[in-house]
Every structure is written in structure tokens, then in C-alpha cells.
């Protein structure tokens, strides 16, 4: 889906929405103990870094956890793309479970929608019946996710590939986004992710 959003036939992606009632889509999961806020989408896969994050979290009256169990998160990326994410541990029903997530990317000439492993391109003017075209997923392979990452790393170690599958800089960006989102939820204010990261890196360099 990420590569399709960059396709010149569809044009630049401006907004991505990820309503995902049970689990986050990209590289994160839920806190496994009471009091932990649900983790949110990371910069992996967007080809850019997070610039601003605003998180609104709460626990409904029927929630059985000590901390917040639901979150609405709005992001602005450094390339201008806007991202909206929704997650909850206390929904009455599961719409999109683990590995069956929902994405919607709004582009100039089409909408891309991935829903429970069903990918389609949607076109149509206002008040017209949308025209949807099914699109192929990635080719099938033996492993995905963490096992696939480990396999790529082993291929890199053995010299079968030149590019390293992970980068520390990306992981630092992901960590900065996650903790900036937590700070936003606690303060009720948007957080500048890059300024947040610079401040903590400077503090760390003074300590060391």
C-alpha cells in the first residue's frame, strides 16, 4: 500500500487514517499490564519522520484497567502527510484484529483502502457511486513480520544483501514519537516530536 501511494498514477498521499480497534498497525502493540497506554503507529513505512503528535486517551466506565484503554492520535509528518489513528482495548466488538488491520490513504486521484487483507483502489466524484478496483497484495512468502526481519538480517550477515534491514536512527524516531504521544496524552497539548527528541538527546549527552 505504501508503494501504491507513491505511484504517479495515483499521486501524492495527503492523509492516512488507521482506525484499528484492537491493535496498532505498524511495529507496535498494546501494553500488557494495567496502566499502560496503547502504543501507536510508528514512522516505519511512511518514508518520513513524525513532526507533531496530539493524543487524546481515556478509559470508559466499563474499562477494567487502571489506566487509559482508548486513544485517538493525530500526527503530522515532516513531509506534510497527516495521519489519524484510533485504538481501543474496550470496544464491544473487534473490527480489525491482529494482522487484519484497516488503513485508508487519501491521495489526489484515488483512495487506497486496506481492510482485513483486502486492498482496493476507490475512485469517484462527489455524489457519484464509488468505483472500487481490487488490487493484488504482496506475493506470498514463507515468513512475515519479525521472522522475516530476522531472515533479512541473516541474509545481510551472510552477504546475500547489501542493505541492512534495520536502522538505529529509525528506532530512535519511533521511540521519540511513542513517548511524545504519551506526553501529549498527559498534558493535553500537541508535542513537537523532533524538538522533544533533540531535548532528550542533549540531556543524554550532558549526562554521559
- Chain segment 113-154, per-residue pLDDT in tens: 999 889 999 998 888 899 999 999 888 889 988 899 899 999
Closest CA to 97 of 29, 45, 148: 29
Closest CA to 118 of 93, 97, 101: 101
- Asked if residues 165 and 148 have their Cβ atoms less than 8 Å apart, the reply is no
Q: Poorest-confidence range of 22-36, 82-96, 138-152, 171-185?
A: 22-36
Please write down the HEC assignment for all residues of 97-142: CCCCCEEEEEECCCEEEEECCEEEEEECCCCCCCEEEECCCCCCCC
Give the C-alpha distances (Å, rounded to integers) separating 107 from 12, 118, 125, 167, 192.
6, 18, 13, 28, 25
> Into which CATH architecture does domain 2-207 fall?
2-Layer Sandwich (3.30)
| Continuous segment of H or E residues that includes residue 59 | none
Give the C-alpha distances (Å, rounded to integers) separating 47 from 78, 80, 148, 154, 162.
10, 12, 20, 24, 19
Query: Which of 5-14, 189-198, 199-208 is modeled with the greatest confidence?
Result: 189-198
Q: Is 179 left (phi over 0), alpha (psi -120 to 50) or beta?
A: alpha
* Beta bridge partner(s), residue 69: none
Cα 101 to Cα 116: distance, rounded to the nearest angstrom: 5
pLDDT of residue 6: 59
- Asked if residues 190 and 52 have their Cβ atoms less than 8 Å apart, the reply is yes
pLDDT of residue 35: 35
Give the C-alpha distances (Å, rounded to integers) separating 160 from 51, 163, 198.
35, 9, 36
Q: What is the pTM of this model?
A: 0.75
pLDDT of residue 121: 93
Does the structure show a pLDDT above 60 at 99? yes
- Asked if residues 85 and 71 have their Cβ atoms less than 8 Å apart, the reply is yes
pLDDT of residue 3: 61
Closest CA to 85 of 25, 9, 131, 159: 25
Amino acid at each position: 500500500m505504501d508503494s501504491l501511494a507513491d505511484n504517479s498514477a495515483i499521486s501524492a498521499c495527503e492523509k492516512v487514517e488507521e482506525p484499528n480497534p484492537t491493535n496498532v498497525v505498524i511495529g507496535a502493540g498494546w501494553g500488557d499490564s494495567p496502566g499502560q497506554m496503547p502504543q501507536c503507529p510508528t514512522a516505519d513505512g511512511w518514508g518520513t519522520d513524525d513532526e507533531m503528535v496530539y493524543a487524546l486517551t481515556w478509559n470508559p466506565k466499563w474499562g477494567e484497567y487502571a489506566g487509559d484503554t482508548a486513544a485517538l492520535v493525530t500526527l503530522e509528518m515532516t513531509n506534510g502527510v497527516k495521519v489519524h489513528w484510533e485504538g481501543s482495548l474496550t470496544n464491544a466488538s473487534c473490527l480489525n484484529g491482529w494482522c487484519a488491520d484497516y488503513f485508508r490513504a487519501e491521495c489526489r486521484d484515488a483512495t487506497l483502502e486496506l481492510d482485513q487483507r483486502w486492498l482496493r483502489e476507490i475512485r469517484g466524484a462527489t455524489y457519484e457511486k464509488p468505483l472500487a478496483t481490487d488490487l493484488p497484495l504482496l506475493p506470498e512468502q514463507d515468513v512475515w513480520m519479525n521472522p522475516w526481519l530476522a531472515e533479512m538480517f541473516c541474509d545481510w550477515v551472510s552477504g546475500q544483501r547489501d542493505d541492512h534491514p534495520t536502522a538505529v536512527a529509525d528506532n530512535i524516531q519511533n521511540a521519540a514519537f511513542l513517548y511524545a504521544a504519551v506526553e501529549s496524552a498527559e498534558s493535553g497539548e500537541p508535542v513537537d516530536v523532533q524538538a522533544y527528541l533533540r531535548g532528550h538527546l542533549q540531556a543524554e549527552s550532558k549526562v554521559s
